[in-house]
Amino acid sequence: MKKILLTLGLLGTMNLAFSQDYWAIKSTGTAAPYSMNDATATAIVSGDVGSPANGTLSDPIEFPFSTWNFYGNPVTQFKVSTSGYLTFDISQTNDMSANTALPNASAPKNAIFAFWDNLSLEAIVQGSTTFKSDIGSFTYGTAPNRVFVVQWRLAGVKGQTVGSTATYFAIRFYEAGNFDIVENYGFGTFTGTIGVQDGSRTKGYMVAGSPSLGCGGATSYDAAKSDVYAFNYGIQPNVTPFLSNASSPIASLNAPETQKIKLNVKNTGKVAISSCKINYTVDGGSVVTTSLNGLNVPANGGGSSIIAHTTSLSLSSADLGKYKAIKAWLTEINTTDGNSDTLSFQVFVNKGIAATKRIFLEEGSGAWCGFCPDGHLRMRDILEANLNVNGTYNKVVGVVHHNADGMTNTQSDAINTAYQTGYPYGVVDRTLFSDQATVGMNRGLWATKITDRMNAVSPVNVTITGKTYDAATRKISFTVNADFVDYAKPGDLRITAIVSEDNVRGPMLTATSTTWNQHNYYSQDDAGAGGSSHELYTEPAYFYGYLHRHVVKTILPSAWGATGTIANGPAEGASYSQTFTYTLPASVKVSETDYAGNTGIYSNFQNTFPGDARNKPNDINLIGIVSYYNADAKSREVINVNETPLLFGTGVKEEVKSNYISKVFPNPTSGLTQIDFKLSSTDNVSIELYNLMGQKVETINSSAFAGGDHTVYFNAENINNGVYFIKVSSTDYTSTHKIMIQK
């Protein structure tokens, strides 16, 4: 009997081993230090302009990790193919470019198919720039956690016009085991196979949609939109929940919704999660448990779901200004499929009173950067769009940090070093958004992220007072005030000031100098990067006398401010101020000889007439910032900002003397809609949407706001067309506004 049982046990073990294969989970987004254009990459196969590489299998290459297994077997060498795969079968001599489903006896064996298709590598020239097309490798990280990358760049379909189809993709091998495939970028119509196959060609796995899977990633490169397939070897569990915090980082006594514990759940198991118990503790106290049914957390990482506990945090005034330590976890998943790990996070408690919020947009730019004029236009449009309806205050403050040109300064260099991801880049409130890998973002994201931040609640009002300018000494003096209307999270809060200047220009120097001239890739005389419809298409390739706006001249007292002015964890009602001085350099003028052969030009973009060029008091702006400082540049959030011109405006704290008057814009609306209102003092405000029958459709906002100007956004995309009313109510005042939703 013992022999029989032993035999059965061995058979079970053999069957378990035999059933093992790879399986993959799809996610979105990559993060530094991985880059699809890593400058340290060593080329394995290259395609030159007019001389494509296709149907090519490389020579054997040593695998960099001494112990790494594929299908349970150690590997030491590999070959790569221009057709989008890598094989550990060194005996293979001919490339196989006709992709198939997997497993398949006609497919390469012992192979990883990153994007298997009949591909070709050929470099592309645009204007003065050559974009490389190659297969390369590089390694990042430190042992024992290095990552080895094999990267295909600018691979197109063989036989099609160069540049009409292109994709970037990679395999990342992790020293600790396993690998993933990254589909960075792609455009055009072509399909391929993503997957693996073993040495016997009897076992294999392919990603859903293969062998007709379209190239992944975004049509314009954005690291946050890359498709990532993480491959695992073994037997996939029923459920594997990954928890992340979806609760509000601040629980406000005036906002019940912020007091709910919410978890974002992703499941890489093979069975969807339909029920569970959600549990949490506060500061190590008793467990609060509730059962949830009717859930749908997809299997195979096919999406995530936010689940909420039915019992809110129990908070009181004694908790104000403090962090509460939360632990949360799931039990009895699908009744019998096990439990999750425990997630720990903190929630800060305040009253939930909103100051007048302004957003800080910082652009990194250079006169040498041909793409940067498009960034300037986007900042212009954002600033113009974000005056409040009455035009009485700016909801967005913008500055430009210059790099390697005539406007560079030490402080801006520090900002650029911390955040640049390629020029032009932008930073919104120096905030790392949840869907981004870096604080610096490409210009296509600026407007959206500014809207995301507009509904963020700031606990502090920033004002600029006492500004003076001595024309004889050119000395500027002003005070930045931070008045807290609510409790702020503890941390190294700092007051910083920026002096900026509009309409900065300089001499032409030479026809292609970019000390002051602005290069323009969008010109029809250069790369024509935006096509004939772009606003800069008919403008010159080099702007002489370019009017550089929002140029940072200096940051006071330093790039990141100085500690000690604001207490750690300021309370409601606390006020702090810091006075700054700056001596404006001597005024600089330009003459006709500075624009030899190009005088008499005046447009929205340039001025080659003689006159003032730099250090002009009338064009100086003063900016006050309250922000956190942290050794990690990703944790230096700007919580509020304000701006005033040096020689205009009152320079005093202006008291709001009227009740609020709300405005709604645009009207009619089809999507994002802003509601502007003004309060004479701190009050609870309710903003609700009603239909013509007097039925409430939605509560847009219900919270407390400090005295001053405010803007609240709501999205009308999912509301039926028709006439509605927006009702704005406080303790002693109500106004109702008719609005048309028309899509």
* CATH label of the domain that carries residue 245: 2.60.40.10
Shared domain check, 441 and 299: no
Shared domain check, 560 and 412: yes
Q: What is the pLDDT of residue 15?
A: 37
Shared domain check, 54 and 78: yes
Q: What is the pLDDT of residue 524?
A: 96
Q: What is the pLDDT of residue 218?
A: 73
681 found inside a domain: yes
* CATH label of the domain that carries residue 708: 2.60.40.1930
Q: What is the pLDDT of residue 11?
A: 32
pTM to 2 decimal places: 0.75
Choice among 286-300, 632-646, 726-740 with the minimum mean pLDDT: 726-740
Shared domain check, 245 and 214: no
320 found inside a domain: yes
7 found inside a domain: no
12 found inside a domain: no
State pLDDT tens for residues 104-133. 999 999 999 999 999 999 998 877 678 899
To the nearest 5 percent, what fractions of the chain are helix, strand and coil?
10, 45, 45
Q: How far is CA 158 from the centre of its chain?
A: 34
Q: What is the pLDDT of residue 37?
A: 86
Length of the chain: 743
Alpha carbon distance 311, 287 (integer Å): 11
Alpha carbon distance 209, 742 (integer Å): 38
State pLDDT tens for residues 144-171. 999 999 999 999 999 888 888 899 999 9
Contact by Cβ (8 Å): 422, 441:
no
Q: What is the pLDDT of residue 637?
A: 97
Shared domain check, 279 and 216: no
Find, among 695, 704, 701, 700, the residue nearest to 722 by Cα: 695
Contact by Cβ (8 Å): 108, 58:
no
Which amino acid, 313?
L
Alpha carbon distance 33, 35 (integer Å): 6
* pLDDT > 70: percent of the chain: 94
Long-range contacts of 420-425, Cβ-Cβ distance < 8 Å, separation of 24 or more: 420/364, 423/364, 423/365, 423/366, 423/369, 423/371, 423/372, 423/375, 424/363, 424/364, 424/365, 424/369, 424/371, 424/372, 424/374, 424/375, 424/376, 425/363, 425/364
440 found inside a domain: yes
Shared domain check, 581 and 529: yes
* Residue numbers of the domain that contains 724: 663-741
pLDDT over 80 at 648, yes or no: no
Shared domain check, 228 and 314: no
Which residue stretches of 386-464 are H helix?
410-419, 446-454
Shared domain check, 375 and 338: no
Alpha carbon distance 65, 370 (integer Å): 42
Shared domain check, 366 and 338: no
Domain total for the chain? 4
Instruction: State which of 234, 258, 274 marks the end of a domain.
Output: 234
Shared domain check, 385 and 346: no
211 found inside a domain: yes
658 found inside a domain: no
Shared domain check, 295 and 156: no
Instruction: State which of 350, 380, 412 marks the end of a domain.
Output: 350
pLDDT over 90 at 399, yes or no: yes
State pLDDT tens for residues 14-61. 333 446 899 999 988 888 889 888 889 999 999 999 999 999 999 999
Q: What is the pLDDT of residue 393?
A: 63
227 found inside a domain: yes
Mean pLDDT of the chain: 91
State pLDDT tens for residues 75-88. 999 999 999 999 99
Instruction: State which of 309, 327, 350 marks the end of a domain.
Output: 350
State pLDDT tens for residues 471-521. 999 999 999 999 999 999 999 999 999 999 999 999 999 999 999 999 999
Shared domain check, 329 and 291: yes
Q: What is the pLDDT of residue 498?
A: 98
